[in-house]
Amino acid sequence: MQFIKSNINIDFIGKRKIAFGISLGMILISILSLILHGGPRYGVDFAGGTLIQIKFQEPVSVKKIKAGLRKVNLGKSSVQLFGSKRENEYLIRTDRSVMSIQGFSSEIAEALKLSTGKDVEIRRIEMVGPQVGKDLREKALFAMFYALLFITIYISGRFELKWFTSGGMTAGLIGAVYLLSLFDVSIPFLMAAALVVALFLFWVLDLKYAMGAIVALIHDVLITVGIFSIFDKEFTLPIIAALLTIIGYSLNDTIIVFDRIRENSRKYPRNPLHFIINRSVNETLSRTILTSLTTLIVVVSLFVLGGGIIHDFAFAMMVGVIVGTYSSIYVASPVIIALGQRTKRS
């Protein structure tokens, strides 16, 4: 079955300014949402505290649950419905860390039974200390940062044969970040500054393919994080796993397009870069859409049928697949054109 005709010729590159405007708008909205919310809403994994999942056999009001929590000094805890209403499950989040799960579980169960008049099942209790949460938060940032930098070595080496240039730049950035992290420097600020420096170096060293890939990946992660902020969803370790998966997925799409650009550059050496890139995007369009659709079907199935535990992970993957497909077509390749035009002018 031929999903898209082989001779299709959509002018993607001609619409790149409109696409850049849409991307810039989405990124600004994401940043604005993060500022208004005071940053991402960290879950227990990163903020520290205790997460309790409970289940009743019959419907119970949140007010009665909170009344029971006040009896065990958890009056400031947040309580929310978990899953569908008919399951009668709730999540309790508190910044209090406890030492003994067994004693704490019995105390909670007894207090909730008295306040609601119904038996309660404590399904899980997760506890993370504030220092552990901070360490996990920093390690998650380092994981994404190092993933992006090592990707640049591969992209530059494979498509531009600049292994030593990109490798030396990456080693220098990693060394500088590591040394500064030993001092009392804000890790999020350090990561942001290092990425800005990396993008500047890509521009100066004319690493066109690496620049295109990294700009697209930063675009995908920023918009996904922004949508999580807009919907006020929590950031937990599974969400970091989803972001790293999105990076890999989006990069795979981008590499397919880049590979075709390299082939067509040899095939049509006299044609302008604008023509070569547009033709390459059109030639890989069928594969890109089919891959994205099949992946999206699986992720949507997880989102609808996977239950509350995997709900946010599946949501992040849904957003990432859509945004990643868009960026492979409208962000990564046009960046190569922008750098190519700069090289010609110079």
User: Is the per-residue pLDDT at 14 higher than 90?
Assistant: no
Averaged pLDDT for residues 313-322: 93
Tokens encoding 293 = 């659709």
Confidence at residue 30, expressed as pLDDT on a 0 to 100 scale: 94
Query: Confidence class of residue 193 from pLDDT cuts 50, 70 and 90?
Result: confident
Confidence at residue 6, expressed as pLDDT on a 0 to 100 scale: 63
User: Is the per-residue pLDDT at 100 higher than 60?
Assistant: no
Confidence at residue 226, expressed as pLDDT on a 0 to 100 scale: 94
Confidence at residue 225, expressed as pLDDT on a 0 to 100 scale: 93
The pTM (predicted TM-score) of the whole model is: 0.83
User: What residue segments make up the domains of the chain, in order of their start?
Assistant: 13-43+132-345, 49-128
- At 222-277, the pLDDT tens digits run 999 999 999 988 888 889 889 989 998 888 889 989 999 989 988 888 888 888 99
Q: Are the folds of 13-43+132-345 and 49-128 the same? A: no
C-alpha distances out from residue 140 to 60, 115, 245, Å? 37, 40, 13
Averaged pLDDT for residues 41-60: 84
Confidence at residue 344, expressed as pLDDT on a 0 to 100 scale: 54
User: Is the per-residue pLDDT at 328 higher than 80?
Assistant: yes
User: Is the per-residue pLDDT at 102 higher than 70?
Assistant: no
The set of residues, in sequence order, having a beta carbon less than 8 Å from that of 323 and lying 6+ positions away, is 219, 220, 223, 224, 246, 250
Please give the sequence-ordered ranges of beta strands (E in DSSP) within 154-259, or none if there are none: 234-235
Averaged pLDDT for residues 196-201: 87
Query: Confidence class of residue 219 from pLDDT cuts 50, 70 and 90?
Result: very high
Range with the poorest average pLDDT among 15-19, 63-67, 98-102, 176-180: 98-102
Confidence at residue 325, expressed as pLDDT on a 0 to 100 scale: 92
Confidence at residue 9, expressed as pLDDT on a 0 to 100 scale: 81
Smallest Cα–Cα separation from 303: which of 290, 313, 293?
313
User: Is the per-residue pLDDT at 160 higher than 90?
Assistant: no
Confidence at residue 33, expressed as pLDDT on a 0 to 100 scale: 94
Query: Confidence class of residue 342 from pLDDT cuts 50, 70 and 90?
Result: low
User: Is the per-residue pLDDT at 29 higher than 80?
Assistant: yes
CATH number of 13-43+132-345: 1.20.1640.10
Averaged pLDDT for residues 198-202: 87
User: Is the per-residue pLDDT at 346 higher than 80?
Assistant: no
Angle between helices 101-116 and 62-70 (to 10 degrees): 130
The set of residues, in sequence order, having a beta carbon less than 8 Å from that of 51 and lying 6+ positions away, is 43, 44, 91, 92, 93, 124, 125, 126, 127
Q: Mean pLDDT across the chain, nearest whole number?
A: 85
User: Is the per-residue pLDDT at 53 higher than 70?
Assistant: yes
User: Is the per-residue pLDDT at 315 higher than 90?
Assistant: yes
Answer CATH for 49-128 from 3.40.50.1110, 3.30.70.260, 3.90.110.10, 3.30.70.3400: 3.30.70.3400
| Spatial distance between the Cα atoms of 171 and 183, rounded to a whole number of angstroms | 19
Q: What percent of the chain has pLDDT over 90?
A: 20
C-alpha distances out from residue 304 to 53, 84, 293, 310, 323, Å? 20, 11, 16, 10, 20
Averaged pLDDT for residues 57-64: 87
The answer to whether residues 144 and 221 touch, using CB atoms and an 8 Å cutoff, is yes
- At 110-133, the pLDDT tens digits run 888 888 888 888 888 887 776 777
